[in-house]
Structure 1
């Protein structure tokens, strides 16, 4: 079934509501009685199929689950986004600035397919590289808040590095992402070594698209991530996949099957022109040496 961004917002809101209920140890029936709604209505909210969630119901659920002020605002923002037909999601519009919608999607994904032409993606960054990037965005931020942002980025990597059922990460980096200096030569050298270490993991694959490959798609493609959420026992997707496209002014989430297909085709087109794993590792080792690592 074709989805739009409003369905994605409702789907994520439902996850947060379900997690809140389960963390409190409530059954559907118990919470439904507390808000004077039916269990089936609450279930529709949690599965993201409710066309509209009343504000009093949502406020009551946030109170029951002990959501703080910022999380409650975020839940209301998702509910409002769920009423939109087309969704350009911009941080700071309806959701608190520190509520990262993408991180919620990433945390539940089982497969992440990433193309990055200019930077090392967050899931593969060292703390020093991440710190330098974050400092560029928030140059005047106090040290405590800066450290919190770096810690959050590192915590995201647990999804990839944990021993039990880690998510699969398939990445193509354009050669330019290895050449743009972030934080100085020492930081870059350590980052190249970290990429080599990560590539030894069975669930991680890193390939480099060299400058000599030109532009395989005929255009200068920007960064994108295809998120997959696994399959059920019948082999069907557990949840519809999502394409995430980050930009300077806002982030775009695509869920329609045709868009997903086109981005998968684009990724395969880029992969055909990328270096194989062995050649990619050789280039990373070369870059590490050039940076003095």
Structure 2
């Protein structure tokens, strides 16, 4: 593999390998011995600090850990993507669609900064709202497959409600996302009440960008999330921040400091144009009452 390249897939690959090893109940020396590699090599793989990734090592580790075919294919795809400076998670090619790269980043985040113009973000969706979206997006899925998708979103939401170090979440929703009916008016009423309730949590800041605010950036902007991983004891970033852009045909991850800063500035501009937290919560409860009648 190339000496240069994206740090996102390397770090994600390392996290998944570590999780698989722990699930298999193996120590690092035991796993390294089984694939006939040094413990230091495996350590560097798990921490995302290696630039030379052998696909053979990934295949053998997946075999040793009894990883599923989907997980194995996903990790091999991450290993290949690690050579790219900025990379697309392109469905149906290197990484299977069912292998969700972003979920791993989200789980490791200390702070998420998001904007969504069209839909309530997954971390804030009720099961009924999520279920309707899943059925619409994947009409050929079985009921069991739909429920697995819904349960995945529910597990992801634990990062906001856990007692120990819940993730900070600063989100702005365009008014469109609140007025667009998903499923039924009853489902929307429950979703809007849930948003209002969640907005009272100390780790969550939720603001609504009303139609009356116009276009704060001068150009329309799509859904984005800036993922920050916090600071270490030396006040240095634990990991470089990443911008996640969700697209219909794939996901884009931006890692340059200039890109990250640009999206932080964009979010700050949108946030200033939005309603404050109290008025946003009042609007959510008002819209919930309207949907319920």
Normalising by structure 1, what TM-score? 0.94
Cα shift at 1:25: 4.2
CA distance in 1, matches of 2:278, 2:151: 32
Q: Is the 8 A contact 2:86 2:255 kept in 1?
A: no
* Structure 1 residue 6 displacement after superposition: 2.8
Q: List structure 1 segments (4+ residues) > 4 angstroms apart after TM superposition.
A: none
Aligned residue-pair number: 290
Residue equivalent to 1:241: 241
Determine helix, strand or coil for the equivalent of 1:146: helix
2:211 maps to 1:211: yes
The unaligned stretches of length 5 or more in structure 2 are none
The answer as to 2:114 corresponding to 1:92 is no
Structure-to-structure mapping, 1:11-160, within 5 angstroms: 11-160=11-160
Q: 1:114 to 1:69 in 2, by over 3 A?
A: same
Of the structure 1 ranges 203-212 and 25-34, higher mean CA displacement relative to structure 2 is found in 25-34
Q: Displacement, 1:168?
A: 1.0
The alignment partner of 1:291 has SS state of: helix
User: CA-to-partner distance for each residue in 1:155-185, whole Å, 9 max, x for gaps?
Assistant: 1111111222211111101111111111111
Q: Distance in 2 between matches of 1:282 and 1:54?
A: 55
Deviations 1:226-285 (A, max 9, x none): 111121111111111111011111111011111000100000011111111111111111
The structure-2 alpha-carbon separation of the partners of 1:146 and 1:189, relative to structure 1 and needing over 3 Å to count, comes to same
- Which residue does the alignment assign to 1:289? 289
Separation of aligned partners in 1, 2:31 and 2:17: 11
Over residues 199-252 of structure 1, what are the superposed CA-to-partner deviations in whole Å (9 max), with x where a residue is unaligned? 111111110111111011000011100111121111111111111011111111
Root mean square deviation of aligned Cα: 1.6
